[in-house]
Amino acid sequence: GLIERDRVGNPLGVIVAKPSPLSLLAALALAERLSPNDEINSTRQFMRELNRLGITSVIDAAGGGLRYPDNYNVIEQLAEADQLTVRIAYNLVSQNIGREQEDFVNYVNTLQMGQGNDFYRLNGAGENLVLAAADFENFLEPRPQLADSMEASLEAVLRLLLEKRWAFRLHATYDESIARFLTVFEQV
């Protein structure tokens, strides 16, 4: 990543996610955590601002380095207390490179596709099913080269999701990546 600085080298508060969002996510992970009460208050204030702007529903595409269930505690607490003011459909992703299959086995065996209520519902898997298939969309940077092992790991996760009747979504930007993904879909 790139941290923008002034003439004397002081950071300006801008991090450029270059060549991928991973540098930005790593920087965000270093931020100080709020207290549980402040997390709840912050989330409620954020939802209020979304409502002020006319936003009543969102999809959590499962990016951004969020780990399930650890980073979902506040939203789940608010959902259980009927305090959500924005409908949230959330997708799950593995954050463990090379262990995606293991994480999805755990998800499909402990969670029900579609579980939840009108304000908080499990929407399926994605946006990345395996991190080897991460297809970032910074068109100012060279296209990411997907790993040779991508097809085998993607196929295993896809078979599991389909067997358990889980919906999924896959972020796909470049023709070269999409062609490889479609080949796996056709095999499955």
Q: How many domains does the chain have?
A: 2
Give the mean pLDDT of 124-147. 86
Q: Which of 64, 62, 72, 65 is nearest to 96 (CA)?
A: 65
pTM of the model: 0.85
Whole-angstrom Cα distance, residue 187 to residue 24? 35
Q: pLDDT tens, 4-31?
A: 999 999 999 888 877 777 777 777 778 8
- Identify any residues that bridge with 124 across adjacent strands, giving them in sequence order: 91
Residue 44 and residue 129 in one domain = yes
By residue range, what is the domain housing residue 20? 1-32
Tell me, yes or no, whether 61 and 130 share the same domain.
yes
My answer on whether 26 and 62 are in the same domain is no
Whether residues 164 and 93 share a domain: the answer is: yes
**Same domain assignment for residues 20 and 67:** no
Render pLDDT for 87-133 as a digit per residue (tens, 0 to 9).
999 999 998 889 999 999 999 999 999 999 999 999 999 988 998 99
> Is the domain of 16 the same as that of 43?
no
**Same domain, yes or no: 26 and 56:** no
Residue 78's pLDDT band (boundaries 50, 70, 90)? very high
Are residues 109 and 27 part of one domain? no
Q: Are residues 79 and 125 in the same domain?
A: yes
Q: Are residues 15 and 102 in the same domain?
A: no
Residue whose entry in the numeric block shows the structure tokens 């207390």: 81
